[in-house]
Structure 1
Amino acid sequence: MAGTDHSDPASLAPYIQHTAISAGMTRDDLVAHCEEAVRYGFNAAMIPASWAGLAADVLRGTGVTVASALDFPTVGVMTSRGKAAEARAIAEAGAEQIDMGVQVGWLRSGMEKEFREDIAGVVAAGVPVKVMLELPLLTEDERERAVELAMDAGAAYLKNASSGSVEVANPESIAYLAARVRDGVRVKASGGIKTLEQARALLDAGASLLGTSSGVAIVTSGRDGGQARTDY
């Protein structure tokens, strides 16, 4: 975050949500990912919803948060009822935070009430929700409305995008969100964060969290040979 000393790469670990979202993830992969999050002191292990219960068991008492996602990685394809039900199921399984895709098409169609209620249904699960706004897909006016509607719905965090295929996280998008969040709402940067320099710039721009699969490489500055597993 702006004004914080990030000269030591390891000092970035508490801001990183260590991400592994893979259709082929095995039980051993999940356990290893969670143990890695503990070893490096990451903020959270971001894992597929189907593994939330096991992740909660592995991470219990470690101080590392269990985070998961819905309507992702293909964003905006679930029904609102389906999202709300899945959010409750994920939270009951042990997820402490949920990142969610939004209905960009609804917003662009002027369906603002439906867009807001879609988010509010996930927020009702009772855990902090991070809303992936997909900023590059929106006009300037749509961006402004997306930010306001997400906060009206109860978003705890605003995210620039769901992945690097939509937008590589950049200081401009993060500063844009940071300048607009209300008290108590924070910003998470996501998408193609692979280097120490990127991570520092995003935190300086106003991000409170970084979602990345390259966390090990970032906090060790490459010494451990950590490699990104995905584009997240």
Structure 2
Amino acid sequence: MKDLAQIAAVIQHTNVSPASSRRDIEKLCDEAMEFLFNGVMVQPCWIEMCRQRLAGSGVRVCSAMAYPMGGSLTTSKVSEMRDLVAAGVDEVDFMANIGFLTSGEPAAYHDEIAALVAAAGAKPLKIMLELGAMPETLWATAILEAEKAGVAYVKNSSGWGNGGKATVENVSFMRKTVTRAGVKASGGIRSLADATAILNAGAELLGTSAGPAIMRGNSGKQDY
């Protein structure tokens, strides 16, 4: 079993609410530094502020892109990815276009991801698979095509909408399916028991807004 310091080191402290204020994001950064979290996950508009506030702390600045639908034009996604890199982001979690998969077009799915990987350069990309929104028969294809396209991590979902929550079952499936990529879990990780179970299932990173509650032995109230 991992101790609290080990768990803190894999938490990406998250606030991607569209209503979050500058003060909310400042608090997110301060909590990440207090508990020595792996990183913060924020909307793109807050990247620069987080970079300044977290400078020298070792906490990574991560952002979500093409979120929460994933159906933007590939050219728009590529442009946005370049903008995030130029803004100084450390890592990007991006939404896949799962409509390509459900249409029986895995090559289109793969090629879009490969274009985003190329646009990101050396920045690690984590794909939000939204496993809960697709048939389980497509899960392996979604994971393996993303891995072949060059993502650094696969992630069960954004934690919002019908993408579903992290479960022992879907995290275990990702862990058993990947051949190279890491595994990130998000959605519904609210307590130390949740975090421990998901890590034991094979996750290497946790996306959650309940990091401070987890560290204090409490249970977070947020859905993400």
TM-score by length of 1: 0.90
Q: Give the Å deviation of 1:164.
A: 4.8
Aligned with residue 147 of structure 2, among 148, 151, 154 = 151
RMSD: 1.5
Q: Give the Å deviation of 1:67.
A: 0.3
Q: Which residue of 1 aligns with 2:98?
A: 104
Paired with 2:92 and 2:112, the residues of 1 have a C-alpha distance of: 14
Is 2:73 the counterpart of 1:79? yes
Is 2:123 the counterpart of 1:132? no
For 1:17, the aligned partner's letter is Q
- SS of equivalent residue, structure 2 residue 183: strand
Greater helix proportion: 2
Q: Give the Å deviation of 1:192.
A: 1.4
Is 2:44 the counterpart of 1:27? no
Deviations 1:47-91 (A, max 9, x none): 11111111111112111000001111x222311111111111111
Paired with 2:31 and 2:152, the residues of 1 have a C-alpha distance of: 26
Contact 1:136 1:167 in 2 (8 A): yes
Q: What count of residue pairs does the alignment treat as equivalent?
A: 221
Deviating runs (4+, > 6 A) in structure 1? none
Is 2:82 the counterpart of 1:88? yes
Paired with 2:36 and 2:191, the residues of 1 have a C-alpha distance of: 18
Q: Which residue of 1 aligns with 2:42?
A: 47
Paired with 1:67 and 1:121, the residues of 2 have a C-alpha distance of: 19
Aligned with residue 69 of structure 1, among 55, 64, 72 = 64
Structure 1, unpaired ranges of 5+: none
Aligned with residue 200 of structure 1, among 190, 196, 211 = 196
